[in-house]
Chain A
Amino acid sequence: DTAVSQTPKYLVTQMGNDKSIKCEQNLGHDTMYWYKQDSKKFLKIMFSYNNKELIINETVPNRFSPKSPDKAHLNLHINSLELGDSAVYFCASSQLQTGRSSGNTIYFGEGSWLTVV
């Protein structure tokens, strides 16, 4: 069973469209994340939710809106897509918030390749 699963894996869409990426984790973790990996493979956190509550929002445009219906799901909705949004988006989860827990490991999904044309 896949621990962190996200869909779709590949998505090609036109500028101006609205799209969503769904993420589910079956690890029983309390914290979920969205990371963006750009064309140079640089990874940067976008959002973090702990038990459905937003705890990190890293200066991401308002066009990006995460939604967490329950602690096992964290979906990412993107409005008015722009060319610069083309990237790989990774969902991830951990038992606790990143950082101060020695047992805390972040588990990543397989990624969603978004191409805006």
Chain B
Amino acid sequence: AQSVTQLGSHVSVSEGALVLLRCNYSSSVPPYLFWYVQYPNQGLQLLLKYTTGATLVKGINGFEAEFKKSETSFHLTKPSAHMSDAAEYFCAVSGSDYKLSFGAGTTVTVRA
């Protein structure tokens, strides 16, 4: 089975500052990794995903993530936070059992 751990249940950043959300995974096979965002009272929207190939993945809304096999990590970053980035962010991994396993989520608040 596979799993993800999101470090930090809550991240607060100033508008314009770097956003860094940490995700570490565990998988017995090469993982497929995803970041989803959930805005208040809405469903989940895919930000980006890593399957194979280039380890730096660019997603929507200026987010990107880097797959580091040696560190079993898939951290999400955005150079400059915007007020609209306030949301819940979920890291997820798909491994050998055909299921998508989600982390516990990280709540991002953006200070003006």
Contacts and interface: CB of A to CB of B under 8 A. Distances in A.
Is the contact region of chain A dominated by helix, strand, or loop, or is it mixed? loop
B11 interface: no
B46 interface: yes
Contacts of A97: 98
B51 interface: yes
Contact of A108 (B43, B51, B88, B94): B43
B107 to A, nearest CB: 8
Measured as residues with beta carbon below 8 angstroms from the partner, the interface class of chain A is 20 to 34
28 contacts: A42-B102, A42-B105, A43-B44, A43-B90, A43-B102, A43-B105, A55-B98, A56-B99, A90-B43, A90-B44, A97-B98, A98-B98, A98-B99, A98-B100, A99-B32, A99-B94, A100-B94, A102-B32, A102-B51, A103-B51, A104-B32, A105-B34, A106-B46, A108-B44, A109-B43, A110-B43, A111-B42, A111-B43
Given A98-B100, A108-B45, 8 more contacts: A41-B105, A45-B100, A90-B43, A99-B100, A105-B46, A105-B49, A109-B43, A111-B42
